[in-house]
Amino acid sequence: MATMLQRCSRASKALIGTGKLTPKLYKMYVQATRTLSSLPASPSPSFPDEYPHAEMRTTYPGPRSIALGKELAQVQHTGAVQFFVDYAASRGNYIVDVDGNRYLDIFCQIASLPIGYNHPAIVAAMSNPSNLAMLSQRPCLGNLPPADWLPMLQGTLGSIAPRGCSEMVTLMCGSCANENAFKAAFIWYQTNARGGRPPSDADFASSMHNTAPGSPALSILSFQGGFHGRLLGCLSATHSKALHKVDIPAFDWPVAPFPRLQYPLADYEAENASEEARCLAHVADLLARHNTHRTETSQVAGIVVEPIQAEGGDFHASPSFFRALQQLAANHGAAFIVDEVQTGGGSTGRFWAHEHWALPSAPDLVTFSKKLQTGGYFAKPAFRPAEGYRIFNTWMGDPVKMLQLDAFLTTMREDNLLENTEITGDYLRAGLMELAARFPGVLGNVRGVGTYIAVDFATPASRDAMIVRLRQLGLQCGGCGDRALRFRPALIFQPRHAAECLNILEHACTETR
Amino acid sequence: MATMLQRCSRASKALIGTGKLTPKLYKMYVQATRTLSSLPASPSPSFPDEYPHAEMRTTYPGPRSIALGKELAQVQHTGAVQFFVDYAASRGNYIVDVDGNRYLDIFCQIASLPIGYNHPAIVAAMSNPSNLAMLSQRPCLGNLPPADWLPMLQGTLGSIAPRGCSEMVTLMCGSCANENAFKAAFIWYQTNARGGRPPSDADFASSMHNTAPGSPALSILSFQGGFHGRLLGCLSATHSKALHKVDIPAFDWPVAPFPRLQYPLADYEAENASEEARCLAHVADLLARHNTHRTETSQVAGIVVEPIQAEGGDFHASPSFFRALQQLAANHGAAFIVDEVQTGGGSTGRFWAHEHWALPSAPDLVTFSKKLQTGGYFAKPAFRPAEGYRIFNTWMGDPVKMLQLDAFLTTMREDNLLENTEITGDYLRAGLMELAARFPGVLGNVRGVGTYIAVDFATPASRDAMIVRLRQLGLQCGGCGDRALRFRPALIFQPRHAAECLNILEHACTETR
């Protein structure tokens, strides 16, 4: 078996390098290699000096991590700390902790690490003397952009801009991206309502007291289970975990159900179609009440949705669901805002997850952060306010992150990493299906696209215990929702890494018997 | 005159280097050098290779900046762009644009540049190979801190922590810092209201629908003219410019007047005392209605205030005003939140502006960003939520910014930059007073502490025209409020730079006659 996997991995690697291995061809390999009983010998990795495999020297968490955590607790909450990291020693798909434990990382800094640890392209960008001026002071990009700001934007964001979204706004993080996209939607909605005229004196005056008409009762429609960040605006659109929301005042914005599909999809076609129709009907009803009949307090200026509800538990919907959603938004004068903070950056096998939907036209606004290193959003031209300073911040992003984004995108193209992700994802998903078949009470609901995959465990407690156990076995991973394990590896995650991951998971599942 | 100023500058510089020049001693120099009629010959600057003075090759804005702006307008709003910058050529107090114009910079990237352009200490930190791992990947600091995270915190934020504020939270920017401080105040307030118990099941359940009791009607009391950022929560506490607020939904949070003092202070003691009493009475009334009698919708969980209202127009209040405010907050169970995003970092001559107030105990929360490069807040231990993930974000700051903060703080101590700022500020203020006396219809209301200074012009239009004219004469500057010019130089701004600035201003004022 090891030999099969090894051969498969080598063949894949050789072909990936030439760009000749199609997903279909690779599936044939996968068919033959479902049974994972031992780690394949590692082919020489394409990542220079990458470690051959995970290796644990202590248990998880290691004694030094525990000691450092106790010390840190003097000045910060450490309830979310997993372990302390030796970032200089981490490399490629492997993260090394302060106890010398080396984990295969399928969580990658909450899905924010694009091409692994200490990737040579990023190291080169950060040590290139010609970038030193950009590293040594942080410009106010909105006031005083560097000379090459436009080429820097065009060479990075311009190369991945959704068709029709010519507007590019850089910001600080995902929450900041979403809040500013909301603001752009509000300004656009009110400008439309005024027939394109600027705000009136009464608008300006009342806004200074947080009252209407200047501070209008507008809302963003969001979905149960969605996550759009933790600032006060986007937290009102977040409904993934109550602990994130409780005790914080919220805008009374409408919330619709998001489909809860049953797996395997092929077995539940009718049920899933009906579930999506139910959710769409709910959205349509909310929009009618808020925007058409105006029987509710607020008007919906935008609908915000994740392509895959990530923090909420990796819930998917079909392309036709999203196409219908876009149409509903357009019919009711609301912006269609796609939050690609976690899904963007290639891990679904396309750079943007919404590329899987075959939309007739681009979303109105697409927000991003995480793997792109810079937060921000793309927008259609209509979402540019007429006046300056309305979407503004001291820094408006950070050119250092643009240098990293440039290194990421260049590497992604040169190394065919989207194709690698599709191939590795097919292989990983096939392996997980096999584990689900072998461990039916333990693990199930295998779902995902590219390497953006999740599985469910039986209960929240068994999922939580599984995460600890997987770390003890050398797999750095993270959950989402109540009982899901999510896979968020970097784009350099290859079939050999997926095989290692599957072996660790198989080992842990076997123990639960 | 030039000789006097030159001697003064040299003496100052020599003595600053030894730490022996007291503000009092320097004032004696300043007395003798009020009349500014020509630029002093520049002493050799302590900043290596700093330019001797501003020098304009084209008018402002230069033709290349105009051309680049037109191109950038294809993809971004450029309404706030001043000019395009050659950051590699900028040095110390001088910013160089793409047309080769070299400006003396008293605005310093909206007050966010701590020790000038390309400071050797920051350049050294950014090119130190041992920092390369921190530059090459961005950790999730809340989940996976680097091994030296605690010493990194202690060596930087720990060294400037307000006494009693042992809690240090790093975040992304000033708005993010304020919103998270608000969240910490809300959680603290509700926890107090529950007698320390965790949220109930009903709290958790209702919060998922944005409704009470889980999403409580809590508010942050803020001040007319205040600025706390542009995200949806902090924008509800911002009341500086209507254009920043209009069309965006807001929380209906209470707003109190902030003192509008008259200058010179010595001539208006009674009026100013009465003005502060009026504002405090308004705050007391709001707190009574919201928190004691509960006749309003919301309870006030916190009061947020800037030590000097910056964006609003550089409005000051006396130390006793802030002490009374702190007491009012405490009396009504509200957190006292001091927003030091712009005032923090040394430009008032103390590291924190609130150090000028002689508070009996530290503020409950102190927020920061800008000059510190990282956003974040300090807090008293009671403001740490019991549970993890309640104050959280993927990145929770950025270690690269901590490296820059470390270089800044080390330089500040080694070069006695707080003392330099106090001395330069005294000199600059004295020079501005003299200009105000000579140009009474043009410029007035000289106010400030350290180099954190402002003057008013006669009208908004004359202020706006003055900013353009000053840039044409080689002074990069910015306004605030309706008709103020604000001084926000870096901490390396020395008397010779202040003299150059005063000469340019004098030139421009003379032209207006």
Who among B182, B241, B400 is closest to A400 (CB)?
B400
Q: What is the pLDDT of residues B98-128, one digit of tens each?
A: 999 999 999 999 999 999 999 999 999 999 9
Asked whether A314 and A486 are in contact (CB, 8 A), the reply is yes
A387 inside 8 A of chain B by CB? yes
* Residue A482 φ/ψ region, left for φ over 0, alpha for ψ in the -120 to 50 degree band, beta for the rest: alpha
* Residue A264 in domain: yes
DSSP calls for B388-435: TTSS--SSSS-HHHHHHHHHHHHHHHHTTHHHHHHHHHHHHHHHHHHH
- The C-alpha atoms of residue B285 and residue B256 are separated, in whole angstroms, by 10
A140 inside 8 A of chain B by CB? yes
- Statement to judge: residues A450 and A334 lie in one domain: no
What is the residue type of B96? Answer: V
B139 inside 8 A of chain A by CB? yes
Asked whether A370 and A178 are in contact (CB, 8 A), the reply is no
Rounded to whole angstroms, what are the CA distances from A102 to A46, A93, A476, A486? 19, 10, 9, 20
* Residue A332 φ/ψ region, left for φ over 0, alpha for ψ in the -120 to 50 degree band, beta for the rest: alpha
CB contact under 8 A, A210 and B135: no
CB contact under 8 A, A112 and B138: yes
Phi and psi for A395 in degrees, rounded to 5? -100, -35
- Assign B26 to helix, strand or coil: helix
B193 inside 8 A of chain A by CB? no
Parallel, antiparallel or unpaired: strands A218-223 and A255-256: parallel
Of B362, B395, B413, the residue that ends a domain is B413
Among candidates A326, A332, A239, which has minimal Cα distance to A290? A332
CB contact under 8 A, B232 and A183: yes
A22 inside 8 A of chain B by CB? no
pLDDT for the residue B438: 95
A224 inside 8 A of chain B by CB? yes
pTM score above 0.90: yes
B263 inside 8 A of chain A by CB? no
pLDDT for the residue A7: 40
* Residue B82 in domain: no
CB contact under 8 A, B395 and A233: no
- Assign A121 to helix, strand or coil: helix
CB contact under 8 A, A208 and B242: yes
Among candidates B7, B9, B83, which has minimal Cα distance to B501? B9
A67 inside 8 A of chain B by CB? no
Where do we find the tokens 């976690």? Answer: A342
- Statement to judge: residues B287 and B324 lie in one domain: yes
* Residue A186 in domain: yes
Rounded to whole angstroms, what are the CA distances from B447 to A253, B263, B313? 44, 8, 11
Establish whether the linkage from the previous residue to A213 is cis, with ω within 30° of 0: yes
A183 inside 8 A of chain B by CB? yes
* Residue A112 in domain: no
CB contact under 8 A, B232 and A230: no
pLDDT for the residue A513: 78
Q: Is A83 a catalytic residue?
A: no
Q: What is the pLDDT of residues B255-267, one digit of tens each?
A: 999 999 999 999 9
The answer to whether residue B384 scores a pLDDT higher than 90 is yes
| A/B interface, count of CB pairs below 8 Å | 382
The answer to whether residue B441 scores a pLDDT higher than 80 is yes
pLDDT for the residue B37: 39
CB contact under 8 A, B246 and A204: yes
Where do we find the tokens 């000097």? Answer: B308
- Statement to judge: residues A408 and A462 lie in one domain: no
CA atoms A189, A194, A200, A202: torsion sign: negative
Where is A434: in which H helix or E strand? helix A417-438
* Chain B residues in contact with A253 (beta carbon < 8 A): 210
- Assign B455 to helix, strand or coil: strand
CB contact under 8 A, B80 and A389: yes
- Statement to judge: residues A323 and A447 lie in one domain: no
Q: Which of B113, B117, B136, B167 to mutate to test the interface with A (most CBs of A within 10 A)?
A: B136
Where is A223: in which H helix or E strand? strand A218-223
CB contact under 8 A, B146 and A84: yes
* Residue A108 in domain: no
A385 inside 8 A of chain B by CB? yes
CB contact under 8 A, B183 and A76: no
- The C-alpha atoms of residue B309 and residue B237 are separated, in whole angstroms, by 13
Phi and psi for B9 in degrees, rounded to 5? -65, -45
- Assign B476 to helix, strand or coil: strand
In chain B, whose CA is at the least distance from the CA of A151? B72
A243 inside 8 A of chain B by CB? yes
B134 inside 8 A of chain A by CB? yes
Asked whether A371 and A409 are in contact (CB, 8 A), the reply is no
Burial zone of A146 (CB within 10 Å; 0-12 exposed, 13-18 middle, 19+ buried): buried
Q: Which of B110, B144, B223, B398 to mutate to test the interface with A (most CBs of A within 10 A)?
A: B144
Helices (H), B194-314: 201-207, 232-235, 242-245, 269-287
* Chain B residues in contact with A86 (beta carbon < 8 A): 146-147
- Statement to judge: residues A338 and A227 lie in one domain: yes
DSSP calls for A258-272: -----SSGGGGHHHH
Number of domains in chain A: 2
Which residues numbered 422-461 in B keep a CB inside 8 Å of some CB on A?
none
CA distance B196 to chain A (A): 13
Q: Which two tokens stand for residue B41?
A: 């010959």
Q: What is the pLDDT of residues B158-182, one digit of tens each?
A: 999 999 999 999 999 999 999 999 9
- The C-alpha atoms of residue A319 and residue A342 are separated, in whole angstroms, by 18
CATH of the domain at A472: 3.90.1150.10
* Chain A residues in contact with B392 (beta carbon < 8 A): 80, 230, 244
* Residue A157 in domain: yes
Burial zone of A18 (CB within 10 Å; 0-12 exposed, 13-18 middle, 19+ buried): exposed
Angle between helices B399-414 and B417-438 (to 10 degrees): 80
Asked whether B451 and B342 are in contact (CB, 8 A), the reply is no
pLDDT for the residue A275: 98
Q: 10 Å Cβ neighbour count for B314?
A: 26
- Statement to judge: residues B477 and B352 lie in one domain: no
- The C-alpha atoms of residue A362 and residue A232 are separated, in whole angstroms, by 28
Please list the active-site residues of B.
227, 339, 370, 394
Which residues numbered 102-131 in A keep a CB inside 8 Å of some CB on B?
109-110, 112-113, 117-119, 122-123, 126-127, 129
- Statement to judge: residues A305 and A440 lie in one domain: no
A57 inside 8 A of chain B by CB? no
pLDDT for the residue B1: 32
- Statement to judge: residues A192 and A289 lie in one domain: yes
What is the residue type of A418? Answer: L
pLDDT for the residue A25: 45
Region of poorest pLDDT, from A420-424, B135-139, B244-248: A420-424
Among candidates B41, B54, B49, which has minimal Cα distance to B105? B54
Helices (H), B288-416: 319-331, 399-414
CB contact under 8 A, B75 and A247: no
pLDDT in 10s for each residue of chain A, 513 residues: 333 333 444 444 444 333 344 444 444 444 445 444 333 333 334 688 899 999 999 999 999 999 999 999 999 999 999 999 999 999 999 999 999 999 999 999 999 999 999 999 999 999 999 999 999 999 999 999 999 999 999 999 999 999 999 999 999 999 999 999 999 999 999 999 999 999 999 999 999 999 999 999 999 999 999 999 999 999 999 999 999 999 999 999 999 999 999 999 999 999 999 999 999 999 999 999 999 999 999 999 999 999 999 999 999 999 999 999 999 999 999 999 999 999 999 999 999 999 999 999 999 999 999 999 999 999 999 999 999 999 999 999 999 999 999 999 999 999 999 999 999 999 999 999 999 999 999 999 999 999 999 999 999 999 999 999 999 999 999 999 999 999 999 999 999 999 999 999 999 999 997
Who among B136, B232, B370 is closest to A179 (CB)?
B232
User: What is the value of ipTM here, to two decimals?
Assistant: 0.93
- The C-alpha atoms of residue B36 and residue B503 are separated, in whole angstroms, by 6
Who among A78, A109, A167 is closest to B75 (CB)?
A167
- The C-alpha atoms of residue A317 and residue A296 are separated, in whole angstroms, by 28
- Statement to judge: residues A238 and A319 lie in one domain: yes
CATH of the domain at B204: 3.40.640.10
CB contact under 8 A, B119 and A135: no
Q: What is the pLDDT of residues B318-376, one digit of tens each?
A: 999 999 999 999 999 999 999 999 999 999 999 999 999 999 999 999 999 999 999 99
CA atoms A405, A410, A411, A415: torsion sign: positive
Of A413, A439, A456, the residue that ends a domain is A413
B145 inside 8 A of chain A by CB? yes
The answer to whether residue B42 scores a pLDDT higher than 90 is no
The H helix count followed by the E strand count for chain A is 18, 14
pLDDT tier at B48 (50, 70, 90 boundaries)?
confident
- The C-alpha atoms of residue A52 and residue A479 are separated, in whole angstroms, by 25
Q: 10 Å Cβ neighbour count for B195?
A: 6
Who among B150, B172, B370 is closest to A172 (CB)?
B172
B158 inside 8 A of chain A by CB? yes
Region of poorest pLDDT, from B87-101, B353-367, B369-383, B418-432: B418-432
* Residue A333 in domain: yes
Helices (H), A163-312: 174-193, 201-207, 232-235, 242-245, 269-287
- Statement to judge: residues A445 and A297 lie in one domain: no
Burial zone of A149 (CB within 10 Å; 0-12 exposed, 13-18 middle, 19+ buried): buried
Mean pLDDT value across residues B35-47: 43
B466 inside 8 A of chain A by CB? no
Among candidates B414, B484, B423, B477, which has minimal Cα distance to B450? B423
* Chain B residues in contact with A232 (beta carbon < 8 A): 179, 182-183, 231-234, 236, 251
- Statement to judge: residues B135 and B239 lie in one domain: yes
Q: Is A408 a catalytic residue?
A: no
Parallel, antiparallel or unpaired: strands B335-339 and B299-305: parallel
Of B378, B413, B448, the residue that ends a domain is B413
> Which residues lie closer than 8 Å to A73 by C-beta, 6 or more apart?
none
Which residues numbered 291-320 in B keep a CB inside 8 Å of some CB on A?
298
* Chain B residues in contact with A110 (beta carbon < 8 A): 140, 143, 394
- Statement to judge: residues B376 and B435 lie in one domain: no
pLDDT for the residue B47: 85
Question: Domain range holding A181?
Answer: 130-413
- The C-alpha atoms of residue A381 and residue A393 are separated, in whole angstroms, by 20
* Residue A453 in domain: yes
Q: How many residues appear in chain B?
A: 513
- The C-alpha atoms of residue B211 and residue B217 are separated, in whole angstroms, by 9
Burial zone of A56 (CB within 10 Å; 0-12 exposed, 13-18 middle, 19+ buried): middle
Where is A443: in which H helix or E strand? strand A443-449
